[in-house]
Structure 1
Amino acid sequence: MSTTGSVPVSLAEIARIAGVGRAAVSNWRRRHDSFPTRIGGTDVSPQFSLAEVERWLRDNGKLDSIGGRELLWPRFEVLGSRDESGLAVAEAAHRMRAPRARSSRVGLSPEAERLAIEAAKLGRKEGARETFEFLLQRWLETHVRQLSTTPPPLAALMARIGFDVRVGGPDEEVTVFDPACGTGHLAAAAVQEYAGPGLRVMACERDPALAALAAARLEFVADGHGLRTEIATADALREDPFAGVRADVALCNPPFNERDWGYEELATDQRWTYGLPPRTEPELAWVQHLLAHLEPGGAAVVVLPPAVASRKAGRRIRGSLLRTGALRAVVALPPGSAQPHSVSLQLWILRAAPDGPGAAPPGQDALLIDATRFAQTGGRESGPSWEPLRAFVLSALQALDHSDADLPDGAVRVPLIELLDDEVDVTPGRYTSVGTEPSGLELSAVWKEVGSALTGLARRAERLSELEFGNDRPQTTVGVGDLVKAGALSLRAGQQPLDGAVASGGDTVPLLTVADLLADGTPGGLVPVESAPVIAEKGDVVVAGVVRAFKAWVHEGPPTALGPQLHALRVNPAKLDAHFLAGCLRAPSNGRQAGTHASSSSRVDIRRLQVLQLPLDEQAAYADVFRSLRDFETRLANADGMGRGLVNDVSDLLATGGLDV
């Protein structure tokens, strides 16, 4: 039987296994001669034997309160491929529920099969569903750059919309359909949102590993819900495994911008009742695929990129969807609702014409809902404020079939005569930009949020004002170039990616450039891993070496490729504290002294930047203050943004005579 001896683990993984911070593991390594020796990696990012680490942790009483899941996961990571590790997790879930069952997966290696059996035993001991969810989540995090998932709050909202919008009375069994189910987020949300007597889920996924994980997830979700499931592994557009089957609710987060979706071989397909989708409009093929699988009165909710609402190539199909009443509503979501997080995605809400009474006839107005204002404001959170967003969208959709019902601000009914022009643009923001001023209740909430932010700023300002500065001893500095020579850090200069094209498959990483820093600081593109000469990892210090964007910070996000004039500094933790280094480097006077001052585009010589010479324990005290100062700066900027937005909203209301005098 295979052991864990050849499985490598990093310091971060050891910290997760032991339930401590990475700094604690570094301390163990320095203080205990018995700590396992490095078997691979580098001095900065060493790797150790999992078996030796487990033995050392047990011998030193470091595993008393930690379960076996963290010890198990590194073995899944070294199976060799995303697909095999995913199939092994699915097989483990299958065996957790049916211990004596034969393998449900074909093609697993002997090591993957043995690992699935061990994981199943652990799951039966520590909780089958909890163990599966842990392994699934770790698998998704490991392969996040290769996968696109639907966040649970968005999945729940889509399921709720589908059940609310469908026309029809209570059935003995309601059928939910998802032709691109991934790992089953939408199907699982539908089960949680449904309160009827019986539910049938039909789903399809062309990736075998994702299909297996979706089936495993639904097996656990089905407990106590009277659920019947059928998961097919196929390309739903090219080889529809559910041809002729009709569903009450269809939910889908399809792949975006896929040009090779089957345009040539599907040109005469009977699903294109609203028009043949152009080669450049695969999303409209998915829309019609969903409609083709709906029962009369059935509803479909699909996530789409915003360009689908306005691209010229799709205007004929959009017009046909509107004229027939199939496209009932469009919801514009805040950026960060789902991948890609920088885009304001949309929900298209569709409905098949009912056979009998109960819904408005074709030719009705379309409901356009702009929910982009529910983005997070202030703090470090990203993505929407889900609870108020959900309440707003569901409230607006209550008026879908009632033309005389009042609509909340941000939602508007648009007559077809206005939509069916030369553009057939159904972008909500185009029609809701007027008359969407916040209500008094919303303004009151924002005032409280601004007040809370200012109170927090005042407290932090008071603490920072208590810092004492003195010149009781001379302080010496050392240049970054000298620190590199001394082995205290390594310096790598960012470059233009070797290949400007974004990879159509395989691993990609975000690309950060100086232009991105001057905008909003968010990476503006993706590049293949093999095309990125320099990638900043978590814990690296990143420095922008140009005067107009000079700054330094400790990178905390996912691995990110660095463009020209950006530099990655990786510290030796035995000699330098990363936050101390970043704080010293980002001092404005430091940048001025190392720059050429010829113009705002002048470069900063990174090697000339100066760093205080202090013992490691004193660096920690400086690092804490630098972090506090950075936090104060971030909160100050957020409060400024909230305050300016509040002033603008109140000014708009005053200018329209909104003051109650």
Structure 2
Amino acid sequence: MKQPAEPAVSVTLAEIARIAGVGRAAVSNWRRRHESFPNPVGGSDTSPQFSLAEVEEWLDREKKSKPTAGRLERLWPQVEALGDRNSMGRVLSAVGAELSAPGTADTLPIPLELSPEQRALAEQAVRLAQQEGASETFGFLLQRWLGTHVRQIITTPEPLAELMVDIAQWHNEAPVRTVIDPACGTGSLLLAAGRRWADSGEPKLLGQDSEPVLAAVAAARLLLEGMNSRIMVADTLRADALQSGQADVVLCNPPSNERDWGHAEVATDPRWLFGQPPRTEPELAWVQHSVATLAPGGTAVMVLPPAVSARRAGRRIRSALLRTGALRAVIALPPGAAPPHGVGLHLWVLSQPCEDPSGAVVRLVDSIGRDGAPSAGRSVIDWPTLRTTVLESLQSDEAPAGVSVPVIDLLDEQVDLTPARYVPAADSAITVNLRQAWTRFDLRLSETRDLSQTLSKLTPMHDEGTVTSTTVAELELAGALELRTGQALPEQQLHRGDPPPDAVRALAIPDLVHPEGPRHWLSALDTESGERAGTLTVTSSQDIVVVGAFRAFDAWVDVEAPTVLGPQLHLIRVDPTVLDPWFLAGCLRSPSNARQAGTHASTSSRVDVRRLQVPRLPLDEQRAYGEIYRRLTAFDHVVRELGEVAGSTSRALGELLATGRLPRG
């Protein structure tokens, strides 16, 4: 029988640079100077792909790579060449199990059934781990695998997993002997629990997931950490494989917005102590399952979308959870704490129903914008501050971010458990924010007045002669500027929401048409790799961005560079000895210029950037006009900020007025 061909393994120029332990420019020089450099086997002119085997042979023959460089980088393209997520995941699971103890792959929740090529690749990784370290090798492969399939695999960030364990530890007074995650995914929550309670008597970690490969990866991770664990493959809601009523702690980040979760199949399930979950409320099925899994005195901490706290369809079950005392706390997290990053998720803390729920209260915590805690306007989550805010608000009635609400006060027609509805803003914070708002308003008002006085003195001149024009195409041909076109943004590496400080902004046409939407960004590492490989168009200081779509046409000097540009966005980089970038941007953005250069052959009109007109002026005059345009840009920016500050100040005063906290008279 003919054996299947081994999958071809290809690498980009950036990957060759990492393998060789050199910079991207060095690889480009090798390719240009050495006729023996391997020829591309695929890709495109801007992002060619090369055979890994040919590249490695050439590097060894020419002695171009460092002896210890790129061992893991050489391994990853071979794993990636397997193609699909599950094949890569099975190899990863085999590596983790074998590194924990030889022969333990048979203890994984599924038979891996590796092909000869896959088995050889796993053995290669195990041998490499003897040099690089077991944890380092497995961790590298795991992060690359998760990054490659970031859209398909939702993971709980490590800081959030640790916070959930903190909450469970605070609420659970009894010793923790068993921890269960009924939707364990790749095992992040169980791993955090195992590390936390390892010194107080190693707990038994139980998990299950409906996706076999994810369960196998989770089992391999826990095996490699030497934890007492058992992971199973099961559809938790349809056919739970774990015995109910045995968990001291349940940690769960369940899938959300699922419609086919078995609503009709489990209609009479005994787990529904609080009522059968509606078809549109799968999260409340997970909530009830988690409560049913708890042992007496146990605690469940769950990550849930904020809509679960308020949707009309779930009010009956929320009411039952409140009446029985099963719901103990709801914690609102800032956006960016976990995927989806543009939404502020909630943590629910639950226990078994109380024997005497009379007088029960629910602790509601709103961590957004409290005493230095992360807010929706911040760029990155300050996890130590967030942890302190949440734990203090749970433990103390004096903490301003939390409030204890009697159950009877929550049992209205809506049964809305959103913390922001009940946690009042701190008076001190409102006072400080209001003073800061007025300071910003006065500053912007002063800037607007200064700029308007300068710009109002500009008057049109009478036509004193004809100014000849040229086009962007002619300037490009003369070498006065360089024109680059934006490229498709890599979906697997693209993030949404508030970016961290070292992130690089990504810009596409929808971001300009709907500026109120979430921001898009890429990590610095992905941006650098993409720019080196020629797959990303990234701006630099003094570059001009031109929008090629007629409906959003504009041009500006990118003062926020670097920015990664998507399709229909163009980068213009000028020769500063010939052109002033501010003058050029001011000329290009003229609406009449765009109409003349527009193409209207289809419903999606575009602007041919190369046809845009530019007056022929000496450099000194360009700079004078460029300074005017710079002031116009500053005027637009200040006026826009003035409107935003005025709006936020007005809303803050309105909130104080509505709560009777403004002085009368």
Query: Same-fold call, TM > 0.5?
Result: yes
Contact 2:394 2:402 in 1 (8 A): no
Q: Which residue of 1 aligns with 2:32?
A: 30
> Is the 8 Å Cα contact of residues 547 and 595 (structure 1) preserved in structure 2?
no
Q: Does 1:330 align with 2:324?
A: no
1:164-184 per-residue CA deviation (whole Å, 9 max, x = no partner) reads 112x43x3x521110111111
| 1:165 counterpart letter in structure 2 | H
C-alpha spacing 1:221/1:272, structure 2 compared with 1 (3 Å): same
- Map residues 466-505 of structure 1 onto 2, 5 A cutoff: 478-479=472-473
Closer/same/farther in 2, CA of residues 204 and 480 from structure 1, 3 Å limit: farther
The structure-2 alpha-carbon separation of the partners of 1:69 and 1:99, relative to structure 1 and needing over 3 Å to count, comes to same
Counterpart Cα distance in 1 of 2:639 and 2:48: 38
Cα pair distance change 1:110/1:319, threshold 3 Å:
same
Q: Compare relative contact order (CA 8 Å, sep 6+) and give the higher one, 1 or 2.
A: 2
Alpha-carbon contact 1:595-1:602 (below 8 Å) kept: no
Alignment partner of 1:412 out of 400, 403, 416? 403
- Give the counterpart of 1:591 among 567, 589, 600: 589
User: In 2, are the aligned partners of 1:256 and 1:283 still within 8 Å (CA)?
Assistant: yes
Where do residues 187-266 of structure 1 align in structure 2 (5 Å cutoff)? Answer: 187-194=190-197, 195-222=199-226, 227-266=227-266
1:364 aligns with 2:332: no
Alignment-derived partner of residue 515 in structure 2: 518
Pairing of 1:15-94 with structure 2 (within 5 A): 15-58=17-60, 59-94=62-97
- Given that 1:479 and 1:608 are in contact with CA atoms closer than 8 Å, whether structure 2 keeps it comes out as yes
1:368 Cα deviation after fit: 1.0
Name the larger-Rg structure.
Answer: 2
Deviation of 1:27 (Å): 3.8
Tell me the TM-score normalised to structure 2 length.
Answer: 0.72
C-alpha distance in 2, partners of 1:339/1:203?
21
Change (3 A) 1:124 1:492: closer
Q: Secondary structure at the match of 1:262?
A: coil
| Distance (Å, rounded) in 2 between the aligned partners of 1:417 and 1:481 | 73
Asked if 2 retains the 8 angstrom alpha-carbon contact of 1:96 and 1:121, the reply is: no
What does 1:142-541 correspond to in 2, within 5 Å? 142-166=148-172, 168-169=173-174, 171=175, 174-194=177-197, 195-222=199-226, 227-353=227-353, 361-373=357-369, 374-375=373-374, 381-382=379-380, 384-399=381-396, 405-406=397-398, 408-432=399-423, 434-437=424-427, 439=429, 478-479=472-473, 513=510, 517-520=514-517, 522=519, 538-539=536-537
For residues 166-224 of structure 1, give each alpha carbon's deviation from its aligned partner in whole angstroms, at most 9, with x where no partner exists. Answer: 2x43x3x52111011111111111122224222111101111111111011111223xx
The structure-2 alpha-carbon separation of the partners of 1:80 and 1:26, relative to structure 1 and needing over 3 Å to count, comes to: same
Matched AA of 2:45: D
CA distance in structure 1 between the partners assigned to 2:67 and 2:583 by the alignment: 41
Q: Take 2:146 and 2:351, find their aligned partners in 1: how far apart are those partners?
A: 33
Q: Tell me the distance in 2 between the aligned counterparts of 1:328 and 1:369.
A: 11
Tell me, in whole angstroms, the C-alpha distance in 1 between the residues paired with 2:10 and 2:574.
Answer: 26
Distance across 2 between alignment mates of 1:74 and 1:515? 36
Give, in angstroms, the shift of residue 158 of structure 1: 0.7
Give, in whole Å, the separation in 2 of the partners of 1:53 and 1:584: 45
Measure the CA separation in 2 of the matches of 1:16 and 1:214.
Answer: 29
Q: Counterpart of 1:243 in 2: which secondary structure?
A: coil
CA distance in 2, matches of 1:19, 1:300: 47
Distance 1:131 1:3, change over 3 A: farther
- Within 1, Cα distance between the matches of 2:73 and 2:65? 13
The 1-side partners of 2:168 and 2:584 are apart by: 51
Distance 1:50 1:19 in 2: 15
C-alpha contact (below 8 Å) 1:513/1:523 kept by paired residues? no
- Are the counterparts in 2 of residues 88 and 115 from structure 1 also a CA contact under 8 Å? yes
In 1, distance between residues paired with 2:584 and 2:216? Answer: 49
Name the counterpart of 2:568.
567
> Which amino acid counterpart does residue 142 of structure 2 have in structure 1?
L
The gaps in structure 1 that reach 5 residues or longer are 400-404, 451-473, 495-508, 525-535, 613-631
Shift in Å, 1:544: 5.6
CA distance in 1, matches of 2:7, 2:318: 59
Q: CA separation in 2, counterparts of 1:576 and 1:419?
A: 63
- Classify 1:378/1:252 alpha carbon distance in 2 versus 1 (closer, same or farther; 3 Å): closer
Please say if residues 325 and 363 of structure 1, whose CA atoms lie closer than 8 Å, have aligned partners that are also in contact: no
Say whether the 8 Å CA contact 2:215–2:233 is kept in structure 1. Answer: yes
Counterparts of 2:643 and 2:200, CA distance in 1: 45
**Alpha-carbon shift at residue 603 of structure 1 (Å):** 6.6
User: CA contact under 8 A between 2:290 and 2:300: conserved in structure 1?
Assistant: yes
Please report how far the alpha carbon of residue 316 of structure 1 lies from its aligned counterpart in structure 2 after TM superposition: 0.2
Q: What SS does the aligned partner of 1:518 have? A: coil
Distance 1:280 1:304 in 2: 14
CA drift of 1:243 comes to 2.9
Q: Percent identical across equivalent pairs?
A: 42
The match for 1:620 is: none
Say if 1:177 and 1:251, in contact at 8 Å, map to a contact too.
Answer: yes
Using a 3 Å threshold, how does the CA distance of structure 1 residues 482 and 439 change in structure 2: closer, same or farther? closer
Distance in 1 of aligned mates of 2:157 and 2:555: 33
In structure 1, give the amino acid aligned to 2:66: L
> What amino acid does structure 2 have at the position aligned with 1:89?
L
- After superposition, give the CA deviation of every residue in 1:126-173 in whole Å (9 maximum; x if it has no partner): 11111101100000000011111111111110111112112x43x3x5
Which residue of 1 is the match for residue 531 of structure 2?
none
Q: Check 1:551–1:113 CA distance in 2 against 1; reply closer, same or farther (3 A cut).
A: farther
* Cα distance, 1:438 vs structure 2: 5.0
Residue 371 of structure 1 deviates from its aligned partner by: 1.1
What is the Cα deviation at residue 443 of structure 1? 7.7
Tell me which residue corresponds to 1:470: none
Contact 2:20 2:64 in 1 (8 A): no
Shift of 1:244: 3.0
Aligned to 1:95: 98
Amino acid at match of 1:221: E
- CA spacing shift, 1:490–1:352, aligned 2, 3 Å: same
SS of equivalent to 2:589: helix
CA-CA distance at 1:514 after TM superposition: 5.1
Q: Secondary structure at the match of 1:587?
A: helix
Residues 545 and 567 of structure 1 are in contact (CA less than 8 Å); yes or no, is this contact kept in structure 2? yes
Amino acid across the alignment from 1:545: A
CA distance in 2, matches of 1:22, 1:377: 37
1:12 aligns with 2:27: no
Question: What is the CA–CA distance in structure 1 between the aligned matches of 2:182 and 2:507, rounded to whole Å?
Answer: 29
* Pair 1:255–1:510, CA change in 2 (3 A): farther
Unaligned runs of 5+ in 2: 441-467, 490-505, 522-533, 540-545, 615-633
- The separation in 2 between residues aligned to 1:74 and 1:556, in whole angstroms, is 28
Q: CA 1:331–1:537 in 2, change beyond 3 Å: closer, same or farther?
A: farther
CA distance in 2, matches of 1:55, 1:33: 15
Q: Which residue of 2 aligns with 1:122?
A: 128
- Distance in 1 (CA, whole Å) between partners of 2:271 and 2:514 is 46
Distance in 2 (alpha carbons) for counterparts of 1:550 and 1:208: 50
Partners of 1:3 and 1:98 in 2: CA distance: 31
Number of positions where the alignment pairs a residue of Structure 1 with one of Structure 2? 555
Instruction: Tell me the equivalent position of 1:460.
Output: none
